[in-house]
Amino acid sequence: MARARQERAEITRQAILDGAATAFDLSGFEGTSLSDVVKNAGVTKGALYFHFPSKEALARVLMDEQIQVREHVPTIEDPGLQTVIDLTHQMAHGLRSNIRIRAGIRLVIEFGSFTHPDPTPYDAWIDTCHSCLTPAQQRGDIFPSLDVQELSTLLVGAFTGIQVTSYVRTRREDLHARVTDLWKFLLPSIVPPERMNRFIPTGTPETDPPALTH
């Protein structure tokens, strides 16, 4: 009985997060009410408050979820530059196919604005890039003169701008192409010529985007 109750509670929690993601993706944080979440989720307000004390608590969970693509990085045997390339394409896939990732990214951008500045999600992504690019530089895949922290910060900023522009212009239909362009232009400036053939700007074929879907 207790296990059945726990399973039902988790189903309800996930439904609430899906409903919140739908509302946040459409209207943003300020434009979403808890009534919108309840309507989309098909639950009562009492059920919502049982799992989440506030709209901000819902937003925080979705913002944390948008970085799920980087969770498997510590298990990669030899993370490096291609790992970062693949992560950007995996995130691009998630933005096109997973409403919870889309909502999380929109919230990250809104909470990172001048009104509600919060650098935490950006710092987390920068740290992930840094953890991959440091060994890449040690292996000779990145010019030794480059500052890996600065490069990581640039990449996160560039991807953020690219996905926003892609959303505005094409509703992200061209996002993979624009991410590929980023790497085509960037790789020659950070990778020694003799190492260039090691990297695939379009991402490795073995990358498994469906793993991002909820």
Closest CA to 15 of 32, 46, 36, 38: 38
Percent of the chain exceeding pLDDT 90 equals 73
Mean pLDDT, the chain, whole residue set: 89
The b/e string for 80-94 (b: 16+ C-beta within 10 A; e otherwise) is bbbbbbbbbbbbbbb
Position 73 scores a pLDDT of: 62
Higher pLDDT pick, 76 / 167: 167
Q: What is the pLDDT of residues 160-192, one digit of tens each?
A: 999 999 999 999 999 999 999 999 999 999 999
Position 116 scores a pLDDT of: 64
Could you tell me how far CA 45 lies from the centroid of its own chain?
29
* Phi, psi of 81, deg, nearest 5: -65, -40
pLDDT above 80: residue 212: no
DSSP code of residue 119:
-
Position 147 scores a pLDDT of: 98
Q: What is the pLDDT of residues 109-133, one digit of tens each?
A: 887 665 667 788 889 899 999 999 9
Position 13 scores a pLDDT of: 95
205 — pLDDT class (breaks 50, 70, 90)? confident
Q: What is the pLDDT of residues 139-166, one digit of tens each?
A: 999 999 999 999 999 999 999 999 999 9
pLDDT above 50: residue 209: no
Position 213 scores a pLDDT of: 37
Q: What is the pLDDT of residues 8-58, one digit of tens each?
A: 989 999 999 999 999 999 999 999 999 999 999 999 999 999 999 999 999
Map residue 140 onto helix, strand or coil.
Answer: coil
Residue 29 burial (CB count, 10 A): 19
Higher pLDDT pick, 68 / 185: 185
Position 214 scores a pLDDT of: 39
- Cβ–Cβ < 8 Å for 95, 102: yes
Closest CA to 58 of 122, 107, 5, 124: 107
DSSP code of residue 196:
G
